[in-house]
Amino acid sequence: MMMMLNLKYVGVLLPVALLLGVAFVYLNSFYRLKEGFYDSSTGRFVDENLIGSPDLHLVAPDGLKYPQPSIMHGRTDIVSVTPWLAPIVWEGTFNPVILDSIYQKKNISIAATVFAVGKYIMFLKNFLETAEEHFFVGFRVNVYVFTDRPKEVPEVKMAAGRELIVRSVPSSKRWQEISARRMELIQTLIEETLLNNVDYIFCLDVDSKFHSRWGTESLGGLVAVIHPGYYQDNRNKFPYERRPSSRAYLASGEGDFYYCGGAFGGLLMEVHQLARTCRKNFEDDAKENIEAAWQEESHLNRYMWTNKPSKVLSPEYLWQDFKPRNPEIHTVRFSGVIKNYAEIRPN
């Protein structure tokens, strides 16, 4: 009796399971097909899932001609890969023509944030004008300016597809606070405005200007810039936060490089996680009356020790105007201008 009942169930369940299986396979392939298309010009199937994710599947346009790459010849005076195999970008390690043509096809969009609070507004014009000349030229770029002096934001002619957006922020009596609060504002900007609208974001110091190309070679998941002041030093000399009571603490013998607080970026969600973490750690420290040695820069360095950047930009991407150019720096792309701290800081 029991046996007969089981057989009856199997007789009903088996066809139902088969039917569901067939339906799943059919619907799944239909769904996938809907997410791609057949490109008759190249004779290839194009998967929109891959096109949609800006960091995946690098497709070069057909017919592109450029010098043959080599794995035997190249720069020998610098290191161009980290021990975790992230590229370190230097002049002479990439071909801008290949990279631009790949990312043009993806129609990526980039946000840049810059803070100009108090007297730092004086640096904005130069920053914006030189960004128009060198920063992701030919790409969709939105520059977000955070300032307490919106009326003093200079008029700068932006190319088609590029936009300047001004956000008001309160003034502050302490420069440390202005510098550190950037993480919170970047986090909020991503959550409230950029999500689903932008692919990459770069967060830059305003007291700086562009001198030459900063473009698609800098794109990556999490992007850090090597600080120009310490790249030849032993890591025990890096100005990391050294008090174990701070959440930015790095012990002697820890840390890969000393990264800049003045320039970092990457894919939107990577930078969101970085900003959220650094903000929280900064605020938790503040509750215990601790301020890390170099504010958010210390927290960023702590974060990058655990969360390794997937692309590292050489000091070409943030030099300092007061420093003579070292021989390995073939081009300065972005640099901090000379400034009189006593004159421009609120404290």
Q: Return the residue of 54, 215, 262, 266 that touches ligand UD2, per CB under 6 A.
A: 262
Q: Is 265 in a helix, a strand, or coil?
A: strand
Residue 206 sits in the site that holds ligand UD2 (CB under 6 A) = yes
- DSSP lists the bridge partners of residue 88 as 312
For the record, the structure tokens of 120 come out as: 């730092």
Kindly tell me the sign of the dihedral angle through the C-alpha atoms of 271, 276, 277, 279.
positive
Residue 334 sits in the site that holds ligand UD2 (CB under 6 A) = no
Residue 100 sits in the site that holds ligand UD2 (CB under 6 A) = no
Residue 261 sits in the site that holds ligand UD2 (CB under 6 A) = yes
Q: Return the residue of 120, 135, 282, 319 that touches ligand UD2, per CB under 6 A.
A: 120
Q: Quick check: 67 and 184 in contact, CB under 8 A?
A: no
200 Ramachandran zone, left/alpha/beta (phi>0; psi -120 to 50)? beta
Residue 89 and residue 220: Cα distance in Å, rounded?
Answer: 11
Residue 102 sits in the site that holds ligand UD2 (CB under 6 A) = no
- Catalytic amino acids? 297
Considering beta carbons, is residue 102 or 248 the nearer one to ligand UD2? 248
Residues 6 or more apart from 313 whose CB is under 8 A from it? 88, 89, 218, 223, 224, 225, 226, 263
Residue 90 and residue 100: Cα distance in Å, rounded?
Answer: 16
Considering beta carbons, is residue 102 or 186 the nearer one to ligand UD2? 186
Site string (21-50) toward ligand UD2, x via CB under 6 A: ------------------------------
Q: Quick check: 294 and 302 in contact, CB under 8 A?
A: no
Q: Return the residue of 117, 198, 248, 292 that touches ligand UD2, per CB under 6 A.
A: 117
Residue 200 sits in the site that holds ligand UD2 (CB under 6 A) = no
Residue 294 sits in the site that holds ligand UD2 (CB under 6 A) = yes
The DSSP bridge pattern shows strands 311-313 and 222-226 to be parallel
Q: What is the closest distance, in whole angstroms, from the C-beta atom of residue 300 to ligand UD2 in the complex?
A: 8
Residue 239 sits in the site that holds ligand UD2 (CB under 6 A) = no
Q: Return the residue of 219, 224, 260, 274 that touches ligand UD2, per CB under 6 A.
A: 260
